[in-house]
Structure 1
Amino acid sequence: MQSESSAAPSVLLVEAFYGGSHKQLIDLLQENISCSVCTLPAKKWHWRARTAALHFSQTIPTCPSHRVLFCSSVLNLCELVALRPDLARLKKVLYFHENQLVYPVRKDQERDFQYGYNQILSWLLPEHKLICRSHVDDIITPQDEQEAPRLLSSPDESLTVSCEQQDPHQTTTAEPRTDPRPVSEGDPEDQRRPLHIVWPHRWEHDKDPELFFSTLIKLKERRLDFHLSVLGETFTDPPEIFPEARRLLDRHILNWGFLPSKDDYLKVLCEADVVVSTARHEFFGVAMLEAVHCGCYPLCPKALVYPEIFPAEYLYSTPEQLCKRLQSLCRRPDVARRHVVKVDTSSFSWSSLKERYETLLAAQRP
């Protein structure tokens, strides 16, 4: 895929895995800066990491106006520059969605260090071939999850989502929920409505779905009532726990599986009460912040990136703590519904980060 947003663009965007959060970021930049875009579909991630440089060396057009090369670390940047010396002169911005040296592997697999090694090589390009790094901690475009919604919006908007039906050709502009839900203390009707728990992550082992479902099965065994939405994208070989969990938790399930419609996805998040992460590998967590922006009470591991974003009251240290927190909220769902989450999602909006990106991607002549 190749496209240009204007004549003689100064920025070249290259994405070897154009899907999910990778696609979110590329689409956002393409909408707001003058650029050329070269991408590959989000399929067979391992092959993209191994062969994308060769592909792009043959498909990226020669363009004397290019001054900046932006890519994610799926691409082996060293290989691309070696195969296309004309790109060596460009300022380079390398975005790391995740660290392949610590990515969890399945028990029956040994780590393939080639992917982490590729990241190291790309990072260690000689100084005269400048590499900059975008600030992973400050951008809502991480690796991962059900990526249907795009929270980074246009330059003049804050972080915006819509919980209502809208014209699909219009930009969603609903404000984040900042006030407690209109529930009075001890409202009988609200107490009868079960807690709605959402798990909006990729159906892969690094998200530890086994821990999540084992926790919910314990809640069921304790005769606690709750509703469940399991969203997120499914790939070729999802963990075996999913069909078994669906069978065991069937009467609790409201939504099951990937929702390709952004509006439908956001509607579920706006209807849910609690969002849970059981991830064993997370460098940002878009899905969690999207759910919080829609008003969900978050429960996250006290590990990985989460303590950098979420206050301590939303973190758990052990599976037992997660179970106890959910058990308490199942018995008092109004606590989650009345709570105002202490996370400022607007700080991750394009309007807040625009100037930093413009500086990062400013054209520099050699």
Structure 2
Amino acid sequence: MSVLLIEAFYGGSHKQLMDLLQEELQEDCVLCTLPAKKWHWKARTAALYFMQTVPASTNYRFMPAHKLTHLQKVIGVKRNGDAYQSEGLPGQQKTRALGVLMKNGNVQSESGLCEAQPGLCTTQHEGLPSPGTAPARLNEAEASESTTSCQEEDKQQLTFNLCNVLSGQDYQQRPLHIAWPHRWEHDKDPETFFKVLLKLKEKDLPFQVSVLGEAFTEIPDIFSEAKKALGSSVLHWGYLPSKDDYFQALCMADVVISTAKHEFFGVAMVEAVYCGCYPLCPKALVYPEIFPAEYLYSTPEQLFKRLQNFCKRPDIVRKHLYKGETAGFAWAALGGKFRSLLAAEPREDL
């Protein structure tokens, strides 16, 4: 089985899933990616980009027979058994990585694409070269940006140990520790999150906050403003490139908050629950499908009231045992389902 994975936003949880599939499926696997920047532009233009960049190949197209017949005519290949082979190549070498035709171990120069050796996976971290004008403009726009882990002044915090930060404090006596582990972009609604925290601070309620997640070139102004206003309540500020440090931060937190306006699943929230955090999520998007009702809020005012109570009684969340189900999200439960889906026979309704 040949598998083509396409990811237009290769970063964060998106990258995590793609890398996991590559590692666990262990098939003739091809991964085509674009950098994790400009989410809204990717949603609008990535399909056009990949349509022009990824050469058609029946080695991995999940299609019914009538569509495969049409594709044969389009790309000019003939079928030999279960594999599609290009005509005229010495030894009838199979087409591999992204359908690029290889001859004597070299990629045809006009393709402009990289070669994947048999049995290996090809990952293009910085996006694929574009043969078309529209995708070229897309790539040029992205090339002008550079991804940053976090703001310059926070680089010294990238390797840290929360156990050291909290040393000397009795666990039950320390202030409520709130985590926000999301991308530093407007679709995660940091404005609402910080507005609620500043309201807690105005009422002199004790809490500490760790603002995690990755920042990019364009960081919303609210982050620098909120860091200054929150002052000593900030325990950690910035992206942690080490997964061990990141999970340690979540393990030391009491509550994890989402204020997202856009969320397909919410890996960061589920990870935090695995690490023992009490989740508070909007009663919207995908969250009601994952979290029981007691972990959902409908308005910022409701979020504030929940956190206000937790600040006064942090022992409430520290003694709490999560009432939802998380085992179904583990690879042990999902691995077989992914394999079955990718190996399924194509249907006429696709």
Distance of 1:47 and 1:314 partners within structure 2? 32
Query: One-letter code of the match for 1:38?
Result: C
Select which of 298, 303, 321 maps to 2:302: 321
Number of equivalenced pairs: 253
1:359 CA displacement: 1.6
Distance 1:49 1:195, change over 3 A: closer
Query: One-letter code of the match for 2:183?
Result: R
Q: Mark the runs of 5 or more structure 2 residues left unpaired by the alignment.
A: 64-69, 83-148, 150-160, 164-168
Distance 1:58 1:309, change over 3 A: closer
1:257 CA displacement: 1.2
Matching residue of 2:178? 197
Query: One-letter code of the match for 1:208?
Result: D
* Sequence identity percentage: 64
Distance 1:290 1:205, change over 3 A: same
Distance of 1:317 and 1:219 partners within structure 2? 18
Distance 1:87 1:251, change over 3 A: farther
Query: One-letter code of the match for 2:60?
Result: H
Query: One-letter code of the match for 1:332?
Result: R
Distance of 1:295 and 1:255 partners within structure 2? 18
1:333 CA displacement: 0.8
1:49 CA displacement: 4.8
Query: One-letter code of the match for 2:250?
Result: L
Root-mean-square deviation (CA, aligned residues, Å) is 3.3
Select which of 173, 181, 189 maps to 1:208: 189
Structure number with higher relative contact order (C-alpha < 8 Å, ≥ 6 residues apart)? 1
1:293 CA displacement: 0.7
Select which of 37, 51, 73 maps to 1:43: 37
Query: One-letter code of the match for 1:218?
Result: K
1:28 CA displacement: 1.3
Matching residue of 1:354? 335
Instruction: Establish whether residue 17 from structure 1 lines up as the match of residue 9 from structure 2.
Output: yes
TM-score by length of 1: 0.62
Distance of 2:285 and 2:47 partners within structure 1? 30
Matching residue of 2:60? 66
Query: One-letter code of the match for 2:2?
Result: S
TM-score by length of 2: 0.64
Query: One-letter code of the match for 1:250?
Result: G
1 or 2, which has the higher helix percentage?
A: 2
Q: Mark the runs of 5 or more structure 1 residues left unpaired by the alignment.
A: 1-8, 70-80, 91-146, 148-162, 166-187
Distance 1:254 1:347, change over 3 A: same
1:230 CA displacement: 0.4
1:65 CA displacement: 3.6
Indicate if the aligned counterparts of 2:162 and 2:249 stay in contact, CA closer than 8 A. no
Distance 1:267 1:87, change over 3 A: farther
